[in-house]
Structures are given as C-alpha cells and as structure tokens.
Amino acid sequence: MRDFLIKLSKIERRYIYLALFLALTLPLIFPPNFPQKMSPTVKSVFEFIDTLPPGSHVLLSADYDASVLPEVDPMYRAVLKHCILRGVIPIGMTLYPQGAVLALDAFKEAEEYLGARRDTDYVFLGYQAGFQAVILGIGENIKNVFPKDYFGTPIDSIPAMRGVNNYKDIALVISFSGSSVPVTWVIYAYSKYHQKVAAAVTAVSAADFYPYIQTGQFVGMLAGMKGAAEYEYAVRKIMKDEGIEKLPPAKAVKGMDANSIGHLLIMLFIIIGNLGYFAAKRRK
Amino acid sequence: MLQRRIPLVIVFITGVLMSIQYFIPHPVSQSAYNIALTWFRGVASMAYAIAVISFVRHHSRRLKQPQNSFYSAVALAAFLFMCIVGFGFGIGEGTIFAKMYLNVQVPLQATTFSLLAFYMASAAYRAFRVKGLEATLLLITAFIVMFGVTTIGNYIPFIPKLTEWLMAVPNLASKRGILIGVGLGMISTSLKIILGIERNWLGG
Amino acid sequence: MHISTDPWVWVAAILTLAIFTFLYKDNPLFKFAEHLFVGVATGYGLVIIYFNAFKPNLYQPLFVEHNLLYIIPFFFGILYFSAAIPKFSYMMRWPIALLLGIGSGLSIPLSFQTYIVEHTKSTILRFPYPNAALFINALILFIGVLTVLIYFYFSYPHKGAIGTISRIGIIFIMIGFGASFGYTVMARFSLLVGRIQFLLGQWLGIHTVM
C-alpha cells in the first residue's frame, strides 16, 4: 500500500493533465445541473440594479481582456441584460483597448436577444486612454472625456445621454476586471466624487477585495465564474418570467458545473500527493 | 542636464501642483486641474508609440537571424495586416478588424492563459504539502473555500456560511493589514518620485 | 452535434489547438501562433488607440478645431518617438515625467483617503455592538489587522512580545493565502473551461455545453 501511494504521488504530469481535461469536459457534455444560490456580495449588486428607477444610468466599464474572458465576460453580458430588462440605461466604456471589441460584442448580444437599440436603450462610448485622467475627467464632465461615442456620434446628439453630465447623473459604476482597476475606480471616483462603485472581478482578485466591501467602498462584488453564474442564472430567470423564449447561452452556469468537478479533483490530487509524501517520509 | 534634470523638474512641478490643488477649491486651481486632466489624456494617448517602436525594432532585427526570421515575419505581417484593415476598413461590428480580434487574438490569448490550469493542477499534486502549522492552516482554509466557491458546496448546509465568514473576517483582516502597508508604500513612493529621491524610473 | 461551417470559427479552433500543443513541448506550431498573437495584438492596440484616444484627445482639437492649448500635450507626445533615435531617446523621459508627476500628485491625497483613512476607520472597535457575534467578529478583525501590520514591521526585531504578536499575524496571513488559493483554483479552471466550451460548443456543435 505504502509503495503504491509513493508511486501514485510521483505519477507523470501528462496523466494529471488528462484527468483534469476529463474532469472539466465530461460535466459539460453531461451537465449535472448543480443548484445556484446567490451569495451576499452578488445579491447587493443585483438588488441595487433591480431597484433602480427606469431611465437611470449605470456605467459598465469593461476593464478586461481575453486572458480573463470566461470569468468576466459572462458577468458583463448578464449585468448588461439586467439593466436593459429593468429599463436602466447602460453606458458601456473601457479603460483597456482590448475591452472595446469584447464589450461591443456583448452589446450586440443584447440587441439580438432583447431588441435593445443603440443610443436609445444603451450607449457605447468605447475606449479612452489614461486611467486616472479618464475616471477623474468623468467626474468633471463626461463630454470632455468622450466627446463622441465609439461609432463617432457626438455625445450631445445621443438621446440616451440627455441629462448625463458627470457622476451625479450616474447611479452606479461597475468595473469588470481581472486586475486592480476596480480599486482605481474607488480611489478616483468614490473617494473624490463619492460615486457608488461595484466590482466584477476574477476569482484571483476576489479575496483581496473583501476589505473594500466592508468599508462600503464597493456596493457589492461578483467574484469569479461563481459570481458570473449566479448573476447569469438570475437574469435568465427574469427573461423566462417575462416570457422571452430565446435565451442566450448559459456559459457561466454550465461552466460552473465543470468547475465544481474540477475542484473536487484538485482536492483529491492534494490528498493523494500528501499521502504519498507521508508514506515516503515514514519509510525514511 | 537635459537627460536627468528636465524630467526631474517636470515631475516636481506637476506633482506639487496636482497635490496642492486638491486642498484649494479655487476656480484657478480647478481650471488648472481640468487642463492637467486633458493634457494627461492627450499625452497618454501617444504613449503606445513606445510599444510600436520597440515591437518593430525588435522583430526587424530578428529578421536577419535565420532561426527567428520566419516567426518575426509572421509577427510583422500580422501587425501590418491589422493596421491595414483597421485604418482602411474601420473598427465597427462585423468588420475584418473586429473579426480578426475575436477569432484570432481572443482564442490565442485566452488559450495561452488557460494552460495555467494544467500547471496549477500539477503543482498542487506535487508541491502542496502539509508541513507545519502555517501550511496546515493554509490548506484547511483552501479546502473550505474551494468547497464554498463550488456549486457543490450549496449541498452542505454550513459550507456557504463558513466560507463567507472566512472571507469576510480573518481573510479580510489579513488582506487589510497588507493593504494598509501597500497604501503607505504607494504614498511614500509617490512623494519620493515628486521630490526626486526615487529616480529608478529615469532608467540607466 | 453539427460542426461549424463558419471559417472564422475554424481559424479560432485551429489556433486554440496550436496553443495547446505546448503542453506536450515547445514546437514550431506554437511559436507561429505565439508570434501571430503578438503581431495582431500590437496592431489592434494601435488602431483602437488611434481612433478612440489620439483622434478625439489631440488630433480633433488641435488640427481640426485649432485649439492651441493642445500644442503642449502634442509636443510632449511627439517626444515618445525619440525612442526610435538612440541619440535623442532620453527625451522620451519628458512625457513620462509629465504623466508620472500629474499621476503621483493626484494620487497622494486620494490614496491616503482610500487606503488609510477608510480602512482604519472600519477596523477600529466602536461600541456598543448589537450582539455578541458582531462584537467577536469586530474583535477578530481588529486583532488580525494589528498583528499583520506588526508582522510586516521589520524595523524592530521580532523577539519577545513582538515575536508572539507577529506569530499571530502569520496565522491570519496564512488564512488569507489559503482563501486566495481556494479562489485562484476557480480562476485558472475557468479559463480552461472557457476554451473547452468553445471547442465543444461553437466548433463541434455539442449544444449541452453552453
């Protein structure tokens, strides 16, 4: 038994890769459909948007790139649809050049599934350079930072932007990110202009952001694929309740099923590795 | 003089002015602040030039090396192609530029980062050992949080609450201790840069 | 199951598989994909920054609206190009100095407010507490923050009472690292799940995956 454990703990890495690949693939092909339960930090963001009066504005900053796509992109798509469903006007923008086309694709999806109309139901401003200067600039006058939207339309002539001058006219800013950009929003938008900020972040940064929730610097937080799945599930439920037949893909919900099995496997890996380690130690 | 003193003077003047304006809510300081933000965005929008110059220079040099020439030619050709389709045919939805981004850059970048999953699994198997109190604490917390973040954790009654408590109390305390230290470090580094004590950013 | 007939999906699928070949070992296909990525990404950045940032921030106000106030940032911006001429490349530091100066100056008071004031305020014990559980949590938080800060205070030797306190600090730090590790596993797996969903769903057309 001891020899077997020692041998097992020294297994070739390719078998580990194969086991992981299967653990993540099989639940996607044969979905176990695990239950979804909204965590408190996600609930805060969801309820904030859900209770906004129609016609309010929410700034959705796509501060992410393809390296964090499966976690953050479903969050962006779900929150965006939630806004449209509740009559809240999402203003899309990004502090990352790469976020521009990714966010644009998300708005396209909202057009396809919810019939959202550009410049009436949503606005897409695109990218602007200089993190701090952009965030601070919006606090003074959004038109100075974005004189035109992504498509070259002057901001003044966009109906959905009527009456929006600075943070006073924006109910919430959500920074979707795989890095510390949400904290940059806190430093320059919350601390200077008292703007309400929420974070939608990768799981890697989630643990670091808990202190900002307790201080109230973040209204709430969507953390990793789990946060994305919880929000996606809730938005799909609203769509079903409203009788919308064609639903968008549930990438995060399905992905979380696979992720859960993957986590069980990694726990098993750690246990086997340690059993082998102790078996070898005893032999010595 | 030109090489070191001028940048140090620029950083000192702009740094002091921007720090002071925060405490003086006067129309003059407010307009200086607005001008500074406009200039900042303007200068930042041209900073990418450094990346392009470095990219072109690096790969042009490698074109002369037989073992690298093909790959560098691929990089340069891809760069030129994106510039031609972007500047020539626009960047809106459905353009070749957007399609190249979504179907070439996105899968390449996303897949490169996805390789980390394999390495992490392998590392957890080989290196995550229970040696001493610290490692044991780390492992126990990691196991609870791993259960908590999966949807399977929802089947076990106490796991979601315990995970939330771990994240919102002891984890928060540890992260806040580090965060306050980081904050103090950031402020002192900013001050040192403005006062010219920290000069590493000037390079060699 | 119906395999995609969209050539763009095929391009994305082949490139995805090309990157995965690195798991076996480094090879020419991976290197090709890697260099393609670098080229496309640099070109993408240049075009987006030109249309979204340079044009509205400098070109439009200076060359179309003739607002002379924009000459200064344009002058500083031009200096970035000195990077291409080794003899004058030191001038590249001037625009960097401008951004660094403005950035540092703006950040000092706001960082102090964000990192120090708010977080200290939310750590201090404030009586009375509505119930014992809240008090215990606040006490653990207070002790945790204090001991972690002392652990990172290296100007005094960690012996005696300070040694004991910093030992408590390590316990909190390890719990924090464990929590980060637990979450990091999800982050890494999610990236791979995303690629598998693409290959099985969009490319091979297995509808259950999305």
Transcribe A39-71 into DSSP letters: -HHHHHHHHHHHTSPTT-EEEEEEE--GGGHHH
Residue B59, pLDDT score: 97
Cα dihedral sign, B67-B69-B74-B76: positive
Residue B204, pLDDT score: 61
Separation of alpha carbons C131 and A45, rounded Å? 27
Separation of alpha carbons B144 and B164, rounded Å? 10
- Inter-chain touch A254–C114, beta carbons under 8 Å: no
The residue of chain B with its CA nearest to that of C103 is B15
Q: Out of B79, B178, B194, name the one closest to residue C39 (CB).
A: B79
Residues of chain C with pLDDT > 90, as a percent, come to 89
Task: Sort B191 into a burial class: Cβ within 10 Å, 0-12 / 13-18 / 19+.
Answer: middle
DSSP A126: E
- Which candidate, C189, C200, B112, places its Cα nearest to that of A262? C189
Cα dihedral sign, B146-B148-B149-B154: positive
- Which candidate, A70, C189, A211, places its Cα nearest to that of B150? C189
Q: Out of A69, A214, A224, name the one closest to residue C186 (CB).
A: A224
| Partner A contacted by C121 (CB < 8 A) | yes
Residues in chain C: 210
Average per-residue pLDDT for chain C? 94
3-state secondary structure of A254: helix
Separation of alpha carbons B115 and C20, rounded Å? 7
Residue contacts between A and B (CB atoms, under 8 Å): 154
Separation of alpha carbons A172 and A94, rounded Å? 15
Are the beta carbons of B195 and B187 closer than 8 angstroms? no
Q: Chain B interface, mutation test: which of C68, C104, C200, most B Cβ atoms within 10 Å?
A: C104
Given a cut of 90, is residue A135 above it in pLDDT? Answer: yes
Separation of alpha carbons B198 and C142, rounded Å? 34
| Partner B contacted by A20 (CB < 8 A) | yes
Are the beta carbons of C207 and C182 closer than 8 angstroms? no
Residue B25, pLDDT score: 82
Rounded mean pLDDT, A99-115: 95
Produce one character per residue of C72-99: b if its CB has 16 or more CB atoms within 10 Å, e if not.
ebbebbebbbbbbeeeebbbbbbbbbbb
**Cβ atoms within 10 Å, residue A38:** 17
Q: How far is CA A100 from the centre of its chain?
A: 15
Residue contacts between A and C (CB atoms, under 8 Å): 154
pLDDT in tens, B56-81: 999 999 999 999 999 999 999 999 99
Produce one character per residue of A97-107: b if its CB has 16 or more CB atoms within 10 Å, e if not.
bbbbbbbbbbb
Q: Rounded to a whole number, what is the distance in angstroms from the first to the last CA of chain C? A: 13
pLDDT band at A23 (very low <50, low <70, confident <90, very high): very high
Residue A196 tokens read as 């309400």
- Which candidate, A85, A92, A93, A79, places its Cα nearest to that of A54? A85
| Partner C contacted by A224 (CB < 8 A) | yes
Q: Chain A interface, mutation test: which of B147, B150, B180, most A Cβ atoms within 10 Å?
A: B150
Amino acid at B41: R
**Cβ atoms within 10 Å, residue B118:** 21
Are the beta carbons of A135 and C60 closer than 8 angstroms? no
Residue with tokens 């129609």: A54
Residue B19, pLDDT score: 93
User: Looking at CA atoms only, how far is residue C115 from chain A in angstroms?
Assistant: 8
Domain ranges of chain A: 1-30+259-282, 40-249
Q: Chain A interface, mutation test: which of B18, B33, B37, most A Cβ atoms within 10 Å?
A: B37
The residue of chain A with its CA nearest to that of B160 is A39
Rounded mean pLDDT, C69-78: 96
- Inter-chain touch A207–C183, beta carbons under 8 Å: yes
Residue A127, pLDDT score: 95
Q: Where does A40-249 sit in CATH, by number?
A: 3.40.50.10160
Longest CA span, chain C = 71
Residue C183 tokens read as 């979450």
Residue C208, pLDDT score: 77
pLDDT band at A280 (very low <50, low <70, confident <90, very high): confident
Residue B142 tokens read as 């990691």
Residue C133, H or E segment: helix C132-151
Residue with tokens 């890494």: C188
Are the beta carbons of C36 and B78 closer than 8 angstroms? yes
Separation of alpha carbons B82 and B166, rounded Å? 47
Q: Chain B interface, mutation test: which of A263, A272, A281, most B Cβ atoms within 10 Å?
A: A263
Residues in chain B: 204
Given a cut of 80, is residue C68 above it in pLDDT? Answer: yes
* Contacts of the segment A87-90: beta carbons below 8 A, 24+ positions apart: A87/A54, A87/A55, A88/A49, A88/A52, A88/A54, A88/A55, A88/A56, A88/A57, A88/A58, A88/A171, A89/A55, A89/A56, A89/A57, A89/A58, A89/A121, A89/A122, A89/A123, A89/A160, A90/A57, A90/A58, A90/A59, A90/A60, A90/A122, A90/A123
Separation of alpha carbons A237 and A247, rounded Å? 10
Rounded mean pLDDT, A156-170: 97
Query: Which strands sit side by side in the sheet containing A221-223, from one edge to the other?
Result: A123-127, A89-94, A57-63, A172-177, A197-201, A221-223
Residue with tokens 């952009």: A134
| Partner A contacted by C48 (CB < 8 A) | yes
Domain ranges of chain B: 1-61, 128-198
- Inter-chain touch A203–C187, beta carbons under 8 Å: yes
- Inter-chain touch A263–B147, beta carbons under 8 Å: yes
Q: Which residues of chain A neighbour C99 with C-beta distances below 8 Å?
A: 130
- Which candidate, A110, A91, A76, A92, places its Cα nearest to that of A160? A91
- Inter-chain touch A35–B124, beta carbons under 8 Å: no
Separation of alpha carbons C14 and B198, rounded Å? 48
Domain ranges of chain C: 131-209
| A40-59 residues touching B, CB cutoff 8 A | 40
- Inter-chain touch A136–C122, beta carbons under 8 Å: no
Residue A2, pLDDT score: 79
Separation of alpha carbons A132 and B37, rounded Å? 8
Residue C154, pLDDT score: 78
- Inter-chain touch C35–B6, beta carbons under 8 Å: no
pLDDT band at C173 (very low <50, low <70, confident <90, very high): very high
Separation of alpha carbons B73 and B84, rounded Å? 16
Are the beta carbons of A19 and A248 closer than 8 angstroms? no
- Which candidate, A187, A145, A191, places its Cα nearest to that of A166? A145
Which residues lie below 8 Å from residue B99, measured CB to CB, with a gap of 6+?
A: C8
| A134-173 residues touching C, CB cutoff 8 A | 136, 146-148, 150
- Which candidate, A99, A83, A73, places its Cα nearest to that of A227? A73
Given a cut of 90, is residue B202 above it in pLDDT? Answer: no
pTM, two decimals, is: 0.94
Amino acid at C163: G
Q: Out of C48, C185, C210, name the one closest to residue A250 (CB).
A: C210
More confident residue, B47 or B152: B47
Angle at C207 between CA A252 and CA B146, to 5 degrees: 30
Given a cut of 70, is residue A30 above it in pLDDT? Answer: yes
Residues of chain A with pLDDT > 70, as a percent, come to 100
User: Looking at CA atoms only, how far is residue B151 from chain A in angstroms?
Assistant: 6
Angle at A150 between CA A145 and CA A151, to 5 degrees: 130
**Cβ atoms within 10 Å, residue B142:** 26
Beta bridge partners of B42: none
Separation of alpha carbons C199 and C204, rounded Å? 6
3-state secondary structure chain B: CCCCHHHHHHHHHHHHHHHHHCCCCCHHHHHHHHHHHHHHHHHHCCCHHHHHHHHHHHHHHHCCCCCCHHHHHHHHHHHHHHHHHHHHHCCCCCCHHHHHHHHHHHHHHHHHHHHHHHHHHHHHHHHCCCCHHHHHHHHHHHHHHHHHHCHHHHHCCCHHHHHHHHHHCHHHHHHHHHHHHHHHHHHHHHHHHHCCCCCHHHCC
Residue A217, H or E segment: none
pLDDT band at C7 (very low <50, low <70, confident <90, very high): very high
Task: Sort A201 into a burial class: Cβ within 10 Å, 0-12 / 13-18 / 19+.
Answer: buried
ipTM: 0.92
pLDDT band at B152 (very low <50, low <70, confident <90, very high): confident
pLDDT in tens, A202-261: 999 999 999 999 999 999 999 999 999 999 999 999 999 999 999 999 999 999 999 999
Residue A174, H or E segment: strand A172-177
